[in-house]
Amino acid sequence: MQTICDGRSGEIQLMQGNQAFARGALEAGLSVVAGYPGTPSSEIVENLAKASTVRDIYVEWSVNEKVAMEVAAAASFAGLRSAAVMKQVGVNVASDFMLHLSESGVRGGMILISCEDPGALSSGNEGESRPFAKMFEVPLLEPCDMQEAKDMTQWAFELSEEIGNLVMIRSVTRLSHASGNVKLGSLPEAAPKARFKHWGTLMDADEGPVTPVPVHYRHTLMQEKLKKAVSRFEESPFNFYEGPENPEVIIVTSSACTLYSREAIRLLDVKDRVGLVKLGTTWPLPPRFMEKYLSKADIIFTVEEVLPFIEDSVKILAADISDRIGIKRFHGRGDGTLPTINELNPDLVAEGLAKILGMEYRPVAPAYAELVDEAVGAASPPRDLAFCAGCPHRASFWSIHNALEMDGREGFVCGDIGCYTLAVLPTGFSTLRTIHAMGSGTGIGSGFGKLGRFGMDQPVLSVCGDSTFFHAVMPALVNAIHNRAEMTLVVLDNSGTAMTGFQPHPGLTADAVGNEAPALDIAGIVRAMGAHVAESDPFQVEETRDKVLELIQKGGVNVLILKQSCALSPEKKGKKLFQVDLDRSVCLGENCGCNNLCTRVFKCPGLQWDAEAKSARIDEVICSGCGVCASICPSGAITKKEVA
């Protein structure tokens, strides 16, 4: 098996950004990594999991990001080098611990890698986590390409150990999921030994207890650590200037935006007019370095995503030293030169720069643009997001949706995060009516479930996946039970963390590396909490619908576990439960009695409408053999036969 450990020092490989982060951590002598699956971060842990088969490292998919950071911190306290890996929203979950960790300090080098998703390509939000570095006073690094991803990770560990605090590295989708040339370094031989030194006094940072108390003492230490980091930043090769001696405009940028900014300068052919200050260390800003280059021009254009984080820091710094550098004019997200939402790309930066320079940027001739618009409108049918063929969620939401319609009291479902989040769309019959963070469905359901006293008689449901259950739903469920909320939680147990790439979780029998692990039983846990528990196979749609109907008439807190593995899971791939056939002569199609139920409403990709034959048909290649369509077909045209 190929792993990121392959390749000698000095060799150049085409590496994914996340692989580069992982390789950098290994080259720094990482011993422990913990994370929670989240796009675009997951490949870091996955690559390290593969590497752990040939190197002595511990790799864990923790139950949630807070615990992941705590697990990594423990390794650091014991003198090992460790990393916590997550997407931007994971940092929100870990933030309470992160605050206290920064105040207590670390021992072995520890880094947090936060992979963010500007543009919400795989998220339900455009949040970012850089402000946490400022809030919790830890150094923040932003690599701009794959080589830096590796090199800065390595350096981050050194920095962390030197100052005795966590170092945060921030990546974005366009870096984590991009690939590029990386020159490899060497992997260390030594395997450090773990020992937690704790017998010193409370004030002993190296061998005493690891705590944020006494708070004022530790807070002072923390700020001194940050100052030390800043002095390293002043000399760092990851901050540099490129461009003319006397530019008209200075672009201040970091991360992938560095590459967009360079490209924008090239697209407008203004490299003699525009200079670029590339920052790799973005909190705190190194003031001497910044002063040197801010004084070169009167116009400062900050290019970053998503918040004007660097922009605001630059403005504050410039205000502080305005007597030395003069008054500047600032452009960026604050004044509308760049859009305030969505991710950036070279065109948006070029448009902004062109506006500042009084130029025009027109990348596509209007005639061509019009023609291609027409072409796409005429000949490029849309590709909607949909559940896969054989997805148990389609069947689950079919049953839940129908039960709610039949019940007729305007009941609703509070959604959560996973593949099933798509049920806010027609693919899930638009059943979800709220979606927020991990575990929020049940938290909000617990709240709705108490509003009966104010006259609300609508049935309240929430859904969650098996991984989400362990991550954040359990405390919310405890809350509902103890506070006697009236609600029903439906656990959609498809045996994996599917949306992010089918990683394992505590409900399964394997760990991150594939070793056997004890599986926790969701039904048993919920029963012990004191909720009424029912189970059903979501592929049995009528039975499931009736169970939902029964539970929403009942009072109290009910939990319905719908167990059926994901269509993409290893045990399902390539194997059909049923051979499903469609008899065209029986199919009612557009007529009264059917009105294209399977292709127009149920909409499984395996079912196709043949407009010429005026009948549905099954695509053998796409059909996964779940048999649900046979249960819902009103004419009996679709039949299923168990496959041996």
Residue type for 529, please?
M
* 347 forms part of the interface with another protein (CB under 8 A): yes
Q: How many residues bind another protein (CB under 8 A)?
A: 78
Cβ proximity to another protein: between 404 and 472 the closer is 404
> Cα separation of 395 and 383, whole Å?
21
- Least distance between another protein and beta carbon 18 (Å): 11
Segment contacting another protein (CB under 8 A): 128-136, 175-183, 439-447, 519-527?
Answer: 175-183
Rule CB under 8 A: is residue 190 a binding residue for another protein? no
Q: Count other Cβ atoms within 10 Å, centred on residue 553.
A: 10
CB nearer to another protein: pick between 99 and 386:
386
According to CB under 8 A, which residues from 561 to 580 bind another protein? 568
Q: Which is nearer to another protein, 214 or 426 (CB)?
A: 426
Contact 492, 461 (CB under 8 A): no
Residue length, the chain? 644
Candidate list 70, 312, 407, 581; residue touching another protein; CB under 8 A: 407
* C-alpha pair distances (Å), 10 with each of 7, 13, 65, 182, 185: 9, 10, 35, 9, 6
| CB-count burial class (<10 Å; 0-12, 13-18, 19+) for 622 | middle
Q: Please report whether residue 382 would count as binding another protein according to CB under 8 A.
A: yes
Q: N- to C-terminal Cα distance for the chain?
A: 33
Could you say which of 145, 151, 416, 493 contacts another protein (CB under 8 A)? 145
Least distance to another protein, CB of residue 363, Å: 4
Please name the residues in contact with 200: beta carbons below 8 A apart, sequence gap of 6 or more: 206, 207, 208, 209
Sign of CA dihedral 229, 232, 238, 244: positive
Q: Please say which residue, 6 or 335, places its beta carbon nearer to another protein.
A: 6
Binding piece for another protein, criterion CB under 8 A, among 108-116, 174-182, 203-211, 228-236: 174-182
Contact segment (CB under 8 A) with another protein among 86-94, 195-203, 364-372, 519-527 equals 364-372
Type of residue at 13 = Q
- Looking only at residues 582 through 641 of this chain, which bind another protein when binding is defined by CB under 8 A? 590, 592-597, 599-601, 603, 605, 607-609, 611, 619, 632, 634
DSSP state of 600: I
Shortest separation between residue 263's beta carbon and another protein, angstroms: 5
Binding to another protein in span 245-284, by CB under 8 A: 256, 259-260, 262-263, 267
Backbone angles phi, psi at 497, to 5 degrees: -95, 90
Contact at 8 Å (CB) between 580 and 639?
yes
Would you state the structure tokens that stand for residue 85, as one six-digit string? 């890996």
* Closest approach of another protein to the CB of residue 441, in Å: 20
453 is a contact residue toward another protein (CB under 8 A): no
Residue from 39, 129, 253, 462 binding another protein (CB under 8 A): 39
Phi and psi (nearest 5°) for 253?
A: -150, 170
- Beta carbon nearer to another protein, 92 or 427: 427
| 5: contact with another protein by CB under 8 A | no
**Binders in 423-442 for another protein, by CB under 8 A:** 427, 429
Query: What torsion do the CA atoms of 254, 260, 262, 264 make, to the nearest 10 degrees?
Result: -140
> Which range in 156-164, 273-281, 293-301, 372-380 contacts another protein by CB under 8 A?
372-380
The residue within the footprint of another protein, chosen from 401, 471, 505, 572 (CB under 8 A), is 401
Task: Locate 179 and state its tokens.
Answer: 């690939």
Closer residue to another protein in complex, CB, 216/383: 383
Kindly state the tokens that stand for 432: 């979800």
Which of the stretches 78-86, 157-165, 368-376, 579-587 binds another protein when contact is defined by CB under 8 A? Answer: 368-376
Q: Which stretch binds another protein (CB under 8 A): 103-111, 244-252, 323-331, 384-392?
A: 384-392
Rounded to whole angstroms, how far apart are CA atoms 241 and 248?
14
Helix (H) or strand (E) segment spanning residue 492:
strand 487-493
